[in-house]
Amino acid sequence: MVDQPLQPFSPPTALLTYVPDGITAAVAVEWLLYAVFAFWAIYTLIAVYHWLKYSHASWVAFPAIATHLFVSFVLIAYALSGELAVSI
């Protein structure tokens, strides 16, 4: 399949029958990504709270939390916008 040109992803047409009229697949995917972001934010806050509460003596905690937040932000921003937010 290397000799065939790349084509953008399009969801199966049978899946689009469940989406109400007036809502495009792009809008549905965008809201799905927002829901994933909300779940990630709540999960991250709980994980950071427990990490700081139960292993606050660890010198690795703050750099690991900062790295996690930075990498996650870059991935989420890219997923929602389609553009790389941070040039590396």
For the chain of 88 residues, list the mean pLDDT of each consecutive stretch of 10. 73 72 77 86 87 76 85 81 63
Question: Does residue 42 form part of some domain?
Answer: yes
Q: What is the pLDDT of residue 39?
A: 92
Provide the domain limits for residue 66. Answer: 13-81
Q: Does residue 81 contact residue 33 with C-beta atoms inside 8 Å?
A: no
Question: Does residue 7 form part of some domain?
Answer: no
- State the Cα–Cα distance between residues 53 and 12, nearest whole angstrom: 46
The number of distinct structural domains making up the chain is 1
- State the Cα–Cα distance between residues 30 and 32, nearest whole angstrom: 5
Question: Does residue 1 form part of some domain?
Answer: no
pTM: 0.57
